[in-house]
Amino acid sequence: YVVKESRYSYEYVTRLIRRLLRNRNIKVVVADDSDTSRQYVRQLLVTHLYQVQLAKHGREALEMIKADPEIKMLISDYNMPEMDGFELTRALRREYDKKDLVIIGLSGYGSATLSAKFIKNGANDFLMKPFFHEEFHCRIMHNIEAMENIQALNDAANRDYLTGMYNRRYLFSAAKELYRVAKENGEPLTAAMIDVDHFKRINDTYGHEAGDRAICAFAKMIGETFGDYLAARFGGEEFCVLFPGVSIEKISPMLESFRHKVEQTAIPFLSDHLRLTVSIGATDVLGDSLDNLIRRADVLLYESKDNGRNRLTT
């Protein structure tokens, strides 16, 4: 590539190489009923190291994409049997956002209005066959980068920088929907507030870096234990987990065993080990708002603190 593209700037070539290395992890579906066209696009993508899967019509592509959440891009022809490119795009957009799946429309014949239609149906971009290799690659690269940038922005807004966990902002936005569903269907929703005991002592004894390390290790334990639920770093050394559809009676043993596991775990730090305990407050009394539910869990957490810490109060 460097030789072939050397009439480009050093920056362009570096960017291209970096791109190629990342492409190895990007799965692309090519949907086209023409064998020649399908193989041609596949070849272009393979030279840029993308992982390519081929589909002969829209329905096959739809099934492939639904079966594999790692597929990040679809390049789709318009005219295909079973399901055409527009139908395919519309069906996919009901489930996948533009930032989760890039769709690029492709067509050989047709009018200039085809591109607008593809985009109105939800495609990110459109290419008219025949196209120049360079335009093809530039557009693909541009669209993938746009998707990655949006994902990076989303993560910056929704995740906590230190632990990579969801932050309080995201928790509240997602919890609103969980709360609404619980209220409407009369289903349980349990909220648990989890706070590390005497965390200041970790910082005071071992320094801030040890504190950060302990928070990360603790966050990892929360993720491992409560991965099926909605867990977030609420702030500092305080975490919140929401259990949709689960009553407090059902989840208490799990919270209790988490408390116990934390108590038993030694977190390695330099030549020493850090030990933590946690206090937990949990409730499924929905009250009249999400804020109320979480506030109640917080009150119970403070009861755990007042009663000697390292305990669960429900």
Q: List contacts with Mg ion (CB under 5 A).
A: 33, 77, 79, 195-196, 199, 236, 238
Minimum distance from residue 240 beta carbon to Mg ion (Å): 12
Where do contacts with ligand GH3 occur on this chain (CB under 6 A)?
A: 162, 195-200, 203, 208, 211-212, 215, 236-237, 305, 309
Q: Which residue is nearest to ligand GH3 (CB)?
A: 211
Return contacts of 179-185, CB within 8 angstroms, 24+ apart: 179/286, 179/289, 179/290, 179/293, 181/244, 182/244, 182/245, 182/286, 183/286
Written as six digits, the tokens of 66 are 């639904």
The dihedral built from the CA positions of residue 122, 90, 81 and 54, taken in this order, carries a sign that is positive
Q: Please identify which residue in the block is written with the tokens 């519309």.
A: 90
Residue of 201, 204, 214, 198 whose CA lies nearest to 273: 214
Q: Among Mg ion, ligand GH3, none, what binds residue 84 when CB lies within 5 to 8 Å by partner kind?
A: none
Nearer to ligand GH3, 164 or 236 (CB): 236
- Cα distance between residue 259 and residue 236, in whole Å: 18
What is the widest separation between alpha-carbon atoms in the chain? 75
Q: Among Mg ion, ligand GH3, none, what binds residue 77 when CB lies within 5 to 8 Å by partner kind?
A: Mg ion
**Catalytic residue check, 237:** yes
Q: Among ligand GH3, Mg ion, none, what binds residue 79 when CB lies within 5 to 8 Å by partner kind?
A: Mg ion
DSSP state of 265: P
Q: Among Mg ion, ligand GH3, none, what binds residue 200 when CB lies within 5 to 8 Å by partner kind?
A: ligand GH3
- Cα distance between residue 10 and residue 191, in whole Å: 54
Q: Which residue is nearest to Mg ion (CB)?
A: 79
Nearer to Mg ion, 165 or 182 (CB): 165
Nearer to Mg ion, 80 or 178 (CB): 80
Catalytic residue among 70, 145, 237, 303: 237
Query: Backbone phi, then psi, for 235, in 5-degree steps?
Result: 160, 155
In contact, 51 and 66? CB cutoff 8 Å: no
Nearer to ligand GH3, 179 or 239 (CB): 239
Minimum distance from residue 151 beta carbon to ligand GH3 (Å): 24
By three-state DSSP, how is residue 296 classified? helix
Q: Among Mg ion, ligand GH3, none, what binds residue 160 when CB lies within 5 to 8 Å by partner kind?
A: none
Nearer to ligand GH3, 58 or 211 (CB): 211
Minimum distance from residue 260 beta carbon to ligand GH3 (Å): 18
Q: Quick check: bond before 130 cis, omega within 30?
A: yes
Q: Which residues are catalytic?
A: 237
